[in-house]
Structure 1
């Protein structure tokens, strides 16, 4: 009996320790071989008041003297720092990386944020204000701006309005016309699942544009290899569980990811994004522009992105197609991406 209680207490101790690690939400610092924190490094979770709203951001840098990169995440309302744990992009090898959670999303979620402030114009303004804050904090005249998916819809408009703040704009899975892109994805999946009777029937019974389609869309795209990554076949294991087991989020912050996503999706911002056609709005950028697209990306149609860039006037512009990637080439082919980024800042 005594041995039983010793074993039980040991198990309780182990479980308690694991829970503390999983739920603590403490940032993991950069350390050397002896465990000492690198002197010029930074691993910080912080909140800053931007345009009247407290917004959270995670800043990771091996050396804070490196150029600053502001990452504008997807969604609407879906932060991506958690994805960097499963698919390390290694952006911190080149930059001081700022994983900013947009108004109403993740670390920046607050139920008191007025829904009417969740608009395209406001998020573009927020992006510019965050950029100015970072220039001031890190004493840099300009920073690099990278948007991903929905973040490209916001990021590219910020780059148009305030090109003087940025060395370059980098659009990863650059959005152009979401409605057309989604319709093309549906048609592609009908062909992909042609010999898969079960999934083909599911798609035919839930045509594009219906609520029924929206319920099956994410899982169908991931199973087809055209979702978040080419090899992420499940949104449960690839996204939900990845968020919930992330060590640098507290339990409250993990739930905020889902609260913020739901809040953003129900806001005016979501409908504005779904109806927008950037090719009608943007024809010129007064800074270098790079688009990164995955060959398997039908979440944001890569053909539309390439055509969009062809029509944009810019001092420099480059389109890169990553043959082994779907929607997230910076996470799927990081070595190839870093090679391009290192040349960009050289």
Structure 2
């Protein structure tokens, strides 16, 4: 999920106001919603599944204490490492509003990256907040999981910024992973932003929304000049109103992200505050490189199976750009899947189909020819 600095400032300011009001108006209610415990995995009758795993752990990763939420019905299942978006925005909360059911098929690892959420600390050296360090951290987390669960290889899934990071990890350390899955796969984010700006202008003109058209016309975006401050202020609102942002059913970041994070019981109050602090802090260091990097000129071959999950209505990471990037990648097995009812987050929006693909195709390193070429 690629939110921008201006949106971030609004969230932080609004967050402080919401938190103050909640603490004053409801007393301990917010604390009751913040035990800092992920939900237990239960069966249809509501009983805890024997042997299941639902826990938070903190692990030293390359000198920094980093937080991880792990859930799985059976810890002997394949391990799936989920790389969240942002930069700096954990996504476990989305699994509470849009349950994926992944924990039934995998031991799912929701790692919160250096500087994000459970892994945020003001003591993290700013000079360590680089893409190269994030790649090294991801490899170290994978090694921790391989050792803990006694699995020679695990699965890697990156979403949005996590896909920008994940495909670079897959290229750097393919021997550690069975396969790489890119959801909302980034190719060249600046070009995607230019395409989003043009699409939104066309749509709002067709709708006759003159107020939004004026805002967008005053918010230039170009490959030559980059993203204007005005674009950063209007982008999220314009996308979510049309259902082409994070999910098709999300109409604002406040109702779809901010409030659900405060309701998520996996975090304490202090950790929820750290989510917003970490998002703002992380993007100070990582956003510019994320926007400016053209992956299509950097990574052309991956020595492991590669799968892209792309929403037909995704404007955050443009569907057509993801498809063009997929077509130029050389890999032993390739699968491209378009989710017709999804925007930027197919796994959360169409979980049944996504899980079926993961079970039937990804776990067996194969593809359905109707959805994409089989590669070599």
Q: 1:125 aligns with which of 107, 120, 136?
A: 136
Question: What is the Cα deviation at residue 34 of structure 1?
Answer: 6.4
How many pairs were matched up? 331
Question: What is the Cα deviation at residue 21 of structure 1?
Answer: 3.1
**SS state of the match for residue 97, structure 1?**
strand
What corresponds to 1:90 in structure 2? 101
What corresponds to 2:311 in structure 1? 294
In structure 2, C-alpha distance between the alignment counterparts of 1:237 and 1:270, rounded to whole Å = 24
Change (3 A) 1:35 1:319: closer
What corresponds to 2:274 in structure 1? 256
What corresponds to 1:214 in structure 2? 232
Superimposed CA distance per residue, residues 260-292 of structure 1 (whole angstroms, 9 cap, x where no aligned partner): 10001111x211111100010001000000000
Is 2:329 the counterpart of 1:312?
yes
Q: 1:156 aligns with which of 140, 163, 167?
A: 167
Is 2:293 the counterpart of 1:276?
yes
In structure 2, C-alpha distance between the alignment counterparts of 1:257 and 1:41, rounded to whole Å = 27
What corresponds to 1:103 in structure 2? 114
In structure 1, C-alpha distance between the alignment counterparts of 2:59 and 2:178, rounded to whole Å = 23
TM-score, structure 2 length as denominator? 0.86
In structure 2, C-alpha distance between the alignment counterparts of 1:86 and 1:342, rounded to whole Å = 23
Q: Which residues of 2 match residues 37-186 of structure 1 at below 5 A?
A: 37-186=48-197
Change (3 A) 1:261 1:24: same
Q: Which residues of 2 match residues 218-257 of structure 1 at below 5 A?
A: 218-257=236-275
TM-score, structure 1 length as denominator? 0.93
What corresponds to 1:323 in structure 2? 340
**SS state of the match for residue 54, structure 2?**
strand
In structure 2, C-alpha distance between the alignment counterparts of 1:128 and 1:113, rounded to whole Å = 19
Change (3 A) 1:118 1:88: same
Question: What is the Cα deviation at residue 29 of structure 1?
Answer: 1.2
Superimposed CA distance per residue, residues 112-154 of structure 1 (whole angstroms, 9 cap, x where no aligned partner): 1111111110001100110011000000000000000000111
Question: What is the Cα deviation at residue 39 of structure 1?
Answer: 2.4
> After the TM superposition, which of the residue ranges 181-190 and 241-250 deviates more from structure 2?
241-250
Question: What is the Cα deviation at residue 225 of structure 1?
Answer: 1.3
Q: Which residues of 2 match residues 324-339 of structure 1 at below 5 A?
A: 324-339=341-356
Does structure 1 conserve the Cα–Cα contact (< 8 Å) formed by 2:100 and 2:348? yes
In structure 1, C-alpha distance between the alignment counterparts of 2:28 and 2:295, rounded to whole Å = 50
Does structure 1 conserve the Cα–Cα contact (< 8 Å) formed by 2:186 and 2:317? yes
Does structure 1 conserve the Cα–Cα contact (< 8 Å) formed by 2:37 and 2:55? no
In structure 1, C-alpha distance between the alignment counterparts of 2:105 and 2:133, rounded to whole Å = 30
In structure 1, C-alpha distance between the alignment counterparts of 2:33 and 2:163, rounded to whole Å = 32
In structure 2, C-alpha distance between the alignment counterparts of 1:328 and 1:227, rounded to whole Å = 9
RMSD: 1.3
Change (3 A) 1:260 1:141: same
In structure 1, C-alpha distance between the alignment counterparts of 2:304 and 2:219, rounded to whole Å = 43
What corresponds to 1:199 in structure 2? 212
Does structure 1 conserve the Cα–Cα contact (< 8 Å) formed by 2:101 and 2:351? yes
Superimposed CA distance per residue, residues 212-235 of structure 1 (whole angstroms, 9 cap, x where no aligned partner): 211121111111211000110111
**SS state of the match for residue 252, structure 1?**
helix
Question: What is the Cα deviation at residue 35 of structure 1?
Answer: 5.5
**SS state of the match for residue 33, structure 2?**
helix
Task: Mark the runs of 5 or more structure 1 residues left unpaired by the alignment.
Answer: 1-14
Runs of 4+ in 1 over 4 A off after TM superposition: 15-20, 32-36
Question: What is the Cα deviation at residue 306 of structure 1?
Answer: 0.7
In structure 1, C-alpha distance between the alignment counterparts of 2:49 and 2:27, rounded to whole Å = 30
